[in-house]
Amino acid sequence: MDSETRVLEYRSKTAREPYQHSLPVALLLCAPGGVAYLILFVASIAPRFAAGLIGDFIEDIFYPLLFLAITTAIVSIVFYATRRVRPMPWYVVFNLSINVSGLLFAAICILLALVR
């Protein structure tokens, strides 16, 4: 055998390439959560400032935004839990940290609002 011998490829043609996470998808999935949880955080720390800043915005836009944030957080957790790519890129870790901590924070805010 000479050094120019071809190596057989044992991978089938139907085998897929390993899944690669997408940066825009990860950032789009955490954007509603980041905005909604930032508003919730400001409202919990400085309610007077938040009342002046938010005003009627809370009923018109915030509740749908919060619903969208909770939905995208659950979708991203399920999406990234089913695809085991190790190590996870920084943007997936960023997405999961925003969404998981935001879900916990939103649950605490909702529970405190229900207790009052």
pLDDT number for residue 94: 92
pLDDT number for residue 15: 58
Instruction: Give the separation between CA 90 and CA 14, rounded to whole angstroms.
Output: 30
In a domain, 8, yes or no: no
> Over pLDDT 70: what percentage of the chain?
74
In a domain, 30, yes or no: yes
Instruction: Give the separation between CA 108 and CA 103, rounded to whole angstroms.
Output: 9
Q: Are 77 and 96 in contact (CB under 8 A)?
A: yes
Q: What is the mean pLDDT of residues 2-22?
A: 66
Q: What is the mean pLDDT of residues 101-111?
A: 85
| Structural domains counted in the chain | 1
pTM over 0.75? The answer is no
In a domain, 3, yes or no: no
Q: What is the residue range of 57's domain?
A: 23-115
Tell me how long the chain is: 116
